[in-house]
Chain A
Amino acid sequence: MPTVDLRFTPLPEHVRTARLVAVSVARRAGFGEDQLDEIRIAIGEACARAVSATEAAAGRAGLVDMRLSDDEDRLDVTVLRCDEDGAPLAETPPTATTEDPLSLALMTGAAGSSAPVTAPGGVRLIWVREAATAGADQQV
């Protein structure tokens, strides 16, 4: 299964990089503009939450790990909070970002094909590719 794995120091400026990588992978996998918007929003929130929680738990030595796999018509994304060795942090303290109801609402609302699955150390988001509409084709 084609995979992209991005690990980064928990700094807010890297969230944009993660969004760009995720959208780039999804675009290559054939997702249309409407779904790319959702992917951009939900992954932006997932990574911002992971940055905040990882920084609170492990400081700048921690790592956020975003893994994307595209298989047939699915994009499977896992965003993990990790320690400096890359091992998932099962428990992280609540932060202003992780407790923000707007952040949770956006991540959940933009997660397309299934609700985000929270797991120890992170969250998993899955999109199933929809047939592109004529309008979406023109925007590519």
Chain B
Amino acid sequence: MDLSVTSREESGRTVVEVSGEIDVYTAPTLRERLNELVGAGHHHLVVDMEGVEFLDSTGLGVLVGGLKRVRSHDGSLHLVCQREKILKVFRITGLTKVFPIHDTVAEAIAASAAADEANATS
């Protein structure tokens, strides 16, 4: 299955919906889209991975790269994923400690906004 990447604005966050397989062949497409969004000033991303069928280390590298880019702009990157086979990839590599992973887009948006408010008041 090919990779599909779409984005929309929701409650001040940019929700990036990804579906298909993120692997050594398709990951560059995701990297380009994330770079474009960050370059266009979208620094608070919620990446919805509920439609992702497969994720390899190249795809993980793209997500880590995206996280670094948004952080350099004081932004954030939250993930939405409940699929066990995708979560397994984050667990094996220890990246569950690096990415906030949520069950739903609504939860991710709320967590992202709450973290932003905490930063603003601290």
CB pair A16–B23 under 8 Å, yes or no, is yes
CB pair A48–B23 under 8 Å, yes or no, is yes
Secondary structure type dominating chain B contacts = helix
> How many residues in B have their beta carbons less than 8 Å from beta carbons of A?
19
Q: Determine whether A92 belongs to the interface, using a CB cutoff of 8 Å to chain B.
A: no
CB pair A48–B56 under 8 Å, yes or no, is yes
Q: Determine whether A12 belongs to the interface, using a CB cutoff of 8 Å to chain B.
A: yes
List CB contacts (< 8 Å) of B10-45 with chain A: 21, 23-25
Q: Which residue on B lies nearest to A109, using beta carbons?
A: B92
Q: Determine whether A15 belongs to the interface, using a CB cutoff of 8 Å to chain B.
A: yes
List CB contacts (< 8 Å) of B62-91 with chain A: 64, 84-85, 88-89
Q: Determine whether B113 belongs to the interface, using a CB cutoff of 8 Å to chain A.
A: no
CA distance A12 to B25 in the complex (A): 5
Contact with B along A89-107 (1 / 0, CB 8 A): 0000000010010110110
In-complex Cβ contact of B88 among A12, A37, A44, A48 (8 A): A37
Q: Determine whether A41 belongs to the interface, using a CB cutoff of 8 Å to chain B.
A: yes
B residues less than 8 Å from A102 (CB atoms): 57, 60-61, 64, 93, 95
List CB contacts (< 8 Å) of A24-81 with chain B: 37, 40-41, 44-45, 48, 51-52
Interface residues of A (CB under 8 A from B): 12-13, 15-16, 19, 37, 40-41, 44-45, 48, 51-52, 97, 100, 102-103, 105-106, 109-110
Across the A-B interface, the 9 shortest Cβ-Cβ residue pairs: A109-B92, A103-B57, A12-B25, A102-B57, A48-B24, A12-B24, A37-B85, A13-B25, A105-B93
